[in-house]
């Protein structure tokens, strides 16, 4: 009896389960045909069926599916006997336009970089037009929504120079030990983005944020995304990472949530130091020199134990940084201060940092928030460090060879903060200070 | 008592169930045996040259009991006598007004134009496709119809040869008529070309079963070069049923040759009897695939499918060997000694070619592609690309 009962029940169960499974599979296949079998490209921003590439141009068929290869690649440099807009092909890698013009500096025009044909506001080929806001807008909540596209960002006061980037990643200048994925005709954007896998992680300022997605790939690991999984987040830094405020004193980067969660932010330190580290030589045609080398492990804002957090019982760190209980533990992410593409400030410094506006356009020699000369950097540093304005507690330590004249060479105003406080520096006027000064 | 009754019912039900299973297994066994028999028959060398009585194709006086002997193709009305005492134009023999016939039962001629939608296989056409698709949509194939010419193209895209051959040069279009090498229109602008004054008489050569690689054999599907390409033709192995029912082991084979890719194609440029050289006789500029620094500026054709990166798993490959997919055929660098098709693709050796993506005649899809590249479902649109570009799925 028991066997019969079990036999019948088993049959019934298998039949029901099979039917259910078939129904589920059919539903997924019918309604989500792409999602059911999607791979890295269909999961990418460019291959997304909702917001992926979609060229609208003279001579280009209007009925290719969004995300189709043809929006960016022309297999025969023509469609239907003639080349759709933009014309002038064939172009390398079968692209719709020339990859990079080789122009050495801004102002950039749309034709200087194939990516600018879509990542631009005016005359974009992407339909519908769209915005790519800067980092401080997207992940910092800055209500000032300019620049709102990549092209404008690269035409800002400071920018990640495309020519320098192109020459560095392809090995035409500078030195790095481990970049192998960039042939001589690579697009400079590809140094940080693998466009076939890069994802849209954030729809901010109005959309949502997905910590499992990422738009970036380390130059040394071009075939994989960086920052999309555990082990590639700022939470890797034990002790550590405190997210800045997100346009208010109660919300935090990168998504505007009510608490700081280092596991939400890609490990931008590891990402950026793939190039900007202590060993790579990076030439800057614009600056006419090599960039300062950065040993992040030995920087105050990095791995060095920065234990000068209070004086006379006052915290020298602003909220949300707790200068007392976490002193010596903090690390910062590069993007806490810097934009990746371009900025209206010098050195790609963000327009808004830790819930405050930053204006640094004269390399620190302009007026500070308190109206003093050479105090322009206080706009930035003052977002996290206190007592930097006139009348505040004098925070600079003295003694140990550091006298008044090191900072006040004329006996009056401060010299430019940047004379001492820059990446990689540990000397004052050539004299070793004994510890990093940035 | 109740229990006993239930036991009997149960036993009966079980007995019925077992009988049904036995019946089902027998059916499967018979089906497998039949399938094996079919596969065996498929591999037998079959005749592909025109067969049957001479009168199937020729007529002495174009008259029988006072009636014309001309066989008209769809849309044709000319019943006047034809050259070589033929009873039909190319389409007269190679077309049907239904959608189900793929081979003429009398002559054995493959049907390349069904005036009804082809229904005899899943790709809706033979290996080269079916001209049915270009009747109403010029972007779906090569337009061979003199009374329904191409409304979009007047010159072959990528044309680089045939300058001076006139408006209706073979290199410009297929629907017009020219008299450059005998009277040529439609099919004869591609097939049975030579430096002679008329179409070559390849129909009487049996070419099946072995490698076809010479003029004496009629070249592969009767396609050969002329002028600077004289002496060249296409080499390959012809499937005996024109891929009416292809599989990994039953299909055509094509020769490929990784020649220079910085100049227009054609036989003289390629120097090899390859199908890509033939296609680029009209679409020559499409063969300028690399710039001076050898970066691809057009999609490669007659280029080796690499055994690295995303290509290492192309065609489902493992360890450099994948399974041949008749929907995305590859060319072989050498067919010397081959006696039949291979079911494998060897990465790092075999080549992508024009026919890897396109049908020669016409297909149900935009630009005579082998899959629906214009599908509104992106994964379907990219399905052909993904056979090689495996990470772009």
Residues of A in contact with B16 (CB under 8 A): none
The answer to whether the bond into A292 is cis (omega within 30° of 0) is: no
Residue A164 domain flag = no
pLDDT for residue B297? 97
List the beta bridge partners of residue B180.
B182
Start-end of H helices in A202-318: 268-272
List the beta bridge partners of residue A342.
A159
Residue with tokens 């320098």: A164
The answer to whether the CB atoms of A81 and B153 lie below 8 A apart is yes
Could you read off the pLDDT of B46-56 as tens digits, one per residue? 344 677 788 98
Could you read off the pLDDT of A220-254 as tens digits, one per residue? 999 999 999 999 999 999 878 999 999 999 999 99
Residues of A in contact with B291 (CB under 8 A): 90, 92
Q: How many whole angstroms separate alpha carbon B251 and alpha carbon B258?
A: 22
Burial B177-208 (b: 16+ CB within 10 A, else e): ebebbbebbbbbbbbbbbeeeebbebbebebe
Residue with tokens 């489902």: B316
The answer to whether the CB atoms of B377 and A63 lie below 8 A apart is no
Q: Find the helix or strand (DSSP H, E) in which B92 lies.
A: helix B90-94
- For residue B95, the distance in angstroms to the closest alpha carbon of chain A comes to 27
Residue B346: C-alpha distances to residues A157, B212, B318, B323, B342 (Å): 53, 22, 10, 9, 10
The answer to whether the CB atoms of B293 and A185 lie below 8 A apart is yes
Distance of CA B155 to the CA centre of its chain: 23
User: Counting one residue from A and one from B, how many pairs have CB atoms under 8 Å apart?
Assistant: 103
Q: How many whole angstroms separate alpha carbon B324 and alpha carbon B322?
A: 7
| DSSP label at residue A382 | T
Could you read off the pLDDT of A76-87 as tens digits, one per residue? 999 988 999 999
* B297: nearest CB among A49, A64, A91: A91
The answer to whether the CB atoms of B299 and A41 lie below 8 A apart is no
Is residue A19 exposed (0-12), middle (13-18) or buried (19+ Cβ within 10 Å)?
exposed
Residues of A in contact with B280 (CB under 8 A): none
Q: Which of B249, B241, B219, B245 has the alpha carbon at shortest distance from B232?
A: B219
Could you read off the pLDDT of B101-152 as tens digits, one per residue? 999 998 899 999 999 999 999 999 999 999 999 999 999 999 999 999 999 9
Low-confidence ranges of chain A (pLDDT < 70): 1-38, 323-324, 399-401
Q: Find the helix or strand (DSSP H, E) in which A136 lies.
A: helix A135-138
State residue A175 phi and psi, 5-degree precision.
-150, 140
Q: Which of B217, B216, B223, B234 has the alpha carbon at shortest distance from B199?
A: B223
Could you read off the pLDDT of B14-31 as tens digits, one per residue? 665 666 656 555 555 555
pLDDT category of residue B162 using cuts at 50, 70 and 90:
confident
Which tokens sit at A106?
């801004």
* ipTM computed for the complex: 0.84
Q: How many whole angstroms separate alpha carbon A109 and alpha carbon A117?
A: 10
Q: Which of A120, A117, A31, A27 has the alpha carbon at shortest distance from A74?
A: A117
Q: How many whole angstroms separate alpha carbon A110 and alpha carbon B245?
A: 50
The answer to whether the CB atoms of B298 and A94 lie below 8 A apart is yes
The answer to whether the CB atoms of A77 and B297 lie below 8 A apart is yes
CB distance from A69 to chain B under 8 Å? yes
CB distance from B298 to chain A under 8 Å? yes
Task: Tell me if B296 sits within 8 A of B290, measured CB to CB.
Answer: yes
pLDDT category of residue B34 using cuts at 50, 70 and 90:
very low
Which tokens sit at A171?
């090995």
- Residues comprising chain B, all counted: 393
The answer to whether the CB atoms of B152 and A38 lie below 8 A apart is no
Could you read off the pLDDT of B87-103 as tens digits, one per residue? 999 999 999 999 999 99
Q: Find the helix or strand (DSSP H, E) in which A314 lies.
A: strand A314-315
Is residue A305 exposed (0-12), middle (13-18) or buried (19+ Cβ within 10 Å)?
exposed
Q: How many whole angstroms separate alpha carbon B365 and alpha carbon A63?
A: 13
Q: How many whole angstroms separate alpha carbon A82 and alpha carbon B138?
A: 16
- For residue A61, the distance in angstroms to the closest alpha carbon of chain B comes to 9
Cα nearest neighbour of B372 on chain A: A64
Residue A204 domain flag = no
* Residue B277: pLDDT over 90: yes
Residue A239: C-alpha distances to residues A325, B80, B157 (Å): 11, 95, 64
- For residue B306, the distance in angstroms to the closest alpha carbon of chain A comes to 16
- For residue A29, the distance in angstroms to the closest alpha carbon of chain B comes to 11
Residue with tokens 């094996």: B36
Q: Which of A270, A294, A268, A297 has the alpha carbon at shortest distance from A280?
A: A294
The answer to whether the CB atoms of A196 and B291 lie below 8 A apart is no
Residues 6+ apart with CB under 8 A from B296: A92, A93, A94, B289, B290
Q: Which of B362, B380, B393 has the alpha carbon at shortest distance from B132?
A: B362
* Residue B43: pLDDT over 60: no
Residues 6+ apart with CB under 8 A from B82: B62, B70, B88, B89
Q: How many whole angstroms separate alpha carbon A90 and alpha carbon B13?
A: 72
Number of structural domains chain A divides into:
1
Residues 6+ apart with CB under 8 A from A252: A243, A244, A245, A246, A258, A259, A260, A261, A320
- DSSP SS3 for B125: coil
CB distance from A314 to chain B under 8 Å? no
Residue A78 domain flag = yes
Each as own residue / partner, the long-range contacts of residues B40-44 (CB below 8 Å, 24 or more positions apart, any chain) are B42/B240, B42/B241, B42/B245, B42/B250, B43/B250, B43/B340
Task: Tell me if B353 sits within 8 A of B309, measured CB to CB.
Answer: no
pLDDT for residue B305? 98
pLDDT for residue A238? 81
The pLDDT of B225-246, averaged and rounded, is 94
- DSSP SS3 for A296: helix
* Residue B201: pLDDT over 80: no
Residues of A in contact with B378 (CB under 8 A): 34, 42, 47, 49, 52, 65-68
Task: Tell me if B62 sits within 8 A of B69, measured CB to CB.
Answer: yes
CB distance from A67 to chain B under 8 Å? yes
Q: How many whole angstroms separate alpha carbon A267 and alpha carbon A335?
A: 10
pLDDT for residue B7? 57
Q: How many whole angstroms separate alpha carbon B283 and alpha carbon B265?
A: 8
- For residue B393, the distance in angstroms to the closest alpha carbon of chain A comes to 5
CB distance from A183 to chain B under 8 Å? yes
Residue B11: C-alpha distances to residues A11, B6, B17 (Å): 16, 9, 10
Q: How many whole angstroms separate alpha carbon A228 and alpha carbon A211?
A: 6
The pLDDT of B306-332, averaged and rounded, is 97
Burial B330-358 (b: 16+ CB within 10 A, else e): bbbbebeebebbbeebbbebbbbbbbbbb
Residue with tokens 């009636």: B67
pLDDT for residue B380? 97
CB distance from A88 to chain B under 8 Å? no
CB distance from B299 to chain A under 8 Å? yes
* A65: nearest CB among B10, B152, B381: B381
Quickly list DSSP for B166-207: -TT-TTT-SSSEE-BTBSEEGGGGTTT--SSSS---GGGS--
State residue A78 phi and psi, 5-degree precision.
-165, 155
Distance of CA B67 to the CA centre of its chain: 36
pLDDT for residue B139? 96
| DSSP label at residue B35 | H
The answer to whether the CB atoms of B295 and A39 lie below 8 A apart is no
pLDDT category of residue B5 using cuts at 50, 70 and 90:
very low
The answer to whether the CB atoms of B378 and A39 lie below 8 A apart is no
Task: Tell me if B71 sits within 8 A of B91, measured CB to CB.
Answer: no
Residue A114 domain flag = yes
- For residue B92, the distance in angstroms to the closest alpha carbon of chain A comes to 30
- DSSP SS3 for A66: coil
pLDDT for residue A6? 54
- Stated pTM of the model: 0.86
pLDDT > 90: percent of chain B? 70
Domain that holds residue A69: 35-130
The answer to whether the CB atoms of B379 and A80 lie below 8 A apart is no
CB distance from B310 to chain A under 8 Å? no
CB distance from A59 to chain B under 8 Å? no
Residues of A in contact with B157 (CB under 8 A): 76, 78, 80-81
CB distance from B147 to chain A under 8 Å? no
Residues of B in contact with A90 (CB under 8 A): 288, 291, 297-298
Mutation target for A interface from B137, B138, B358, B382: give the one with most A CBs within 10 A: B382
CB distance from B4 to chain A under 8 Å? no
The answer to whether the CB atoms of B153 and A89 lie below 8 A apart is no
């Amino acid at each position: 009896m028991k066997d019969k009962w079990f036999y019948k029940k088993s049959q019934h169960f298998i039949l029901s389960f099979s039917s259910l499974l078939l129904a589920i599979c059919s539903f997924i296949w019918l309604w989500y045909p792409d999602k059911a079998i999607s791979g890295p490209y269909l999961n990418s921003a460019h291959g997304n069926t909702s917001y992926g590439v979609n060229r609208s141009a003279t001579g280009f068929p209007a009925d290719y599916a969004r995300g189709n290869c043809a929006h960016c690649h022309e297999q025969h440099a023509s469609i239907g006997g003639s080349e759709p807009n933009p014309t002038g092909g064939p172009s390398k890698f079968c692209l719709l336009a020339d990859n990079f013009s080789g122009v050495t500096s801004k102002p950039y025009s749309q034709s200087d970089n194939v990516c600018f044909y879509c990542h631009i506001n005016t005359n974009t080929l992407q339909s519908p037009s769209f915005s790519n806001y800067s980092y401080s807008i997207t992940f910092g909540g800055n209500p000032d929504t300019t620049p709102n596209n990549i092209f404008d960002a690269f035409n800002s006061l400071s920018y990640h120079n495309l020519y320098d980037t192109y020459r560095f990643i392809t090995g035409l200048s500078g030195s790095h030990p481990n970049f192998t994925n960039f042939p001589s005709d690579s697009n400079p954007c590809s140094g940080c983005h693998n466009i076939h896998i890069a994802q849209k992680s954030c729809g901010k300022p109005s959309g949502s944020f997905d910590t499992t997605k990422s738009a970036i790939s380390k130059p040394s690991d071009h075939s994989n995304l960086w920052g999309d999984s555990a082990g590639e987040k700022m939470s890797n830094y034990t002790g550590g990472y405190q997210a800045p405020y997100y346009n208010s004193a109660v919300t935090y980067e990168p998504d505007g949530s009510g608490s700081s969660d280092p596991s939400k932010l890609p490990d931008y330190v590891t990402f950026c130091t793939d190039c900007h580290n202590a060993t790579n030589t990076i030439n800057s045609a614009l600056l006419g020199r090599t960039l300062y080398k950065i040993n992040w492990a030995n920087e105050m804002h990095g791995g060095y134990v920065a234990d000068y957090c209070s004086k006379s019982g006052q915290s020298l760190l602003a909220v949300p940084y707790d200068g007392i209980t976490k002193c010596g533990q903090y690390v910062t992410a590069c993007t806490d201060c810097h934009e990746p593409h371009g900025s209206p400030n010098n050195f790609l410094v963000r327009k808004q940092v830790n819930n405050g506006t930053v204006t640094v356009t004269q390399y620190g020699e302009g007026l500070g928030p308190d109206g003093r000369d050479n105090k322009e950097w206080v706009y930035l540093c003052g977002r996290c460090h206190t007592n930097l304005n006139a009348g505040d507690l004098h925070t600079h330590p003295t003694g140990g060879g550091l006298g008044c004249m090191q900072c006040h060479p004329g006996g009056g105003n401060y010299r430019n903060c940047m004379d001492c406080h820059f990446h990689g520096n540990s000397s004052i006027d050539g004299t070793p200070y004994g510890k990093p000064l940035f | 008592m109740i229990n006993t009754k239930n036991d009997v019912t149960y036993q009966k039900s079980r007995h019925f169930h077992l009988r049904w299973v036995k019946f089902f297994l027998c059916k499967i066994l018979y089906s497998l045996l039949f399938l094996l028999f079919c596969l065996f028959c498929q591999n037998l060398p079959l005749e592909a040259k025109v067969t049957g009585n001479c009168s199937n194709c020729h007529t002495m006086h174009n008259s029988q009991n006072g009636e014309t002997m001309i066989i008209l193709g769809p849309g044709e009305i000319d019943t006047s006598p034809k050259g070589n005492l033929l009873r039909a134009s190319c389409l007269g023999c190679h077309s049907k007004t239904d959608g189900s016939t793929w081979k003429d039962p009398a002559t054995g001629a493959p049907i390349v134009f069904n005036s009804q939608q082809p229904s005899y296989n899943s790709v809706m056409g033979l290996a080269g496709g079916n001209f049915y698709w270009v009747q109403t949509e010029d972007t779906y194939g090569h337009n061979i119809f003199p009374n329904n010419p191409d409304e979009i193209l007047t010159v072959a895209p990528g044309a680089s040869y045939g300058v001076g051959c006139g408006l209706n040069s073979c290199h410009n279009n297929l629907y017009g008529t020219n008299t450059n090498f005998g009277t040529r229109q439609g099919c004869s602008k591609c097939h049975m070309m030579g430096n002679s004054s008329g179409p070559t008489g390849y129909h009487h050569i049996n070419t099946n079963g072995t490698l076809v690689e010479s003029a004496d054999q009629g070249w592969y599907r009767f396609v050969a070069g002329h002028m600077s390409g004289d002496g060249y033709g296409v080499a390959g192995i012809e499937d005996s049923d024109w891929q009416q029912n292809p599989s990994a082991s039953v299909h055509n084979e094509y020769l490929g040759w990784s020649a220079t890719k910085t100049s227009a194609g054609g036989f003289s440029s390629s120097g090899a009897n390859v199908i890509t050289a033939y296609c680029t006789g009209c679409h020559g500029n499409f063969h300028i695939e690399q710039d001076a620094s050898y970066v691809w500026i057009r999609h490669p054709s007659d280029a080796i499918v690499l055994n690295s990166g995303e290509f290492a798993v192309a065609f489902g490959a493992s360890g450099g060997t994948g399974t041949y997919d008749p929907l995305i055929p590859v060319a072989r660098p050498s067919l010397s000694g081959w006696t039949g098709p291979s079911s494998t693709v060897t990465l790092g050796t075999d080549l992508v070619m024009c026919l890897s993506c396109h049908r020669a005649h016409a297909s149900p899809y935009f630009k005579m592609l082998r899959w629906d590249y214009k599908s509104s479902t992106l994964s379907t649109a990219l399905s052909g690309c993904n056979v090689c570009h495996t990470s772009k799925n």
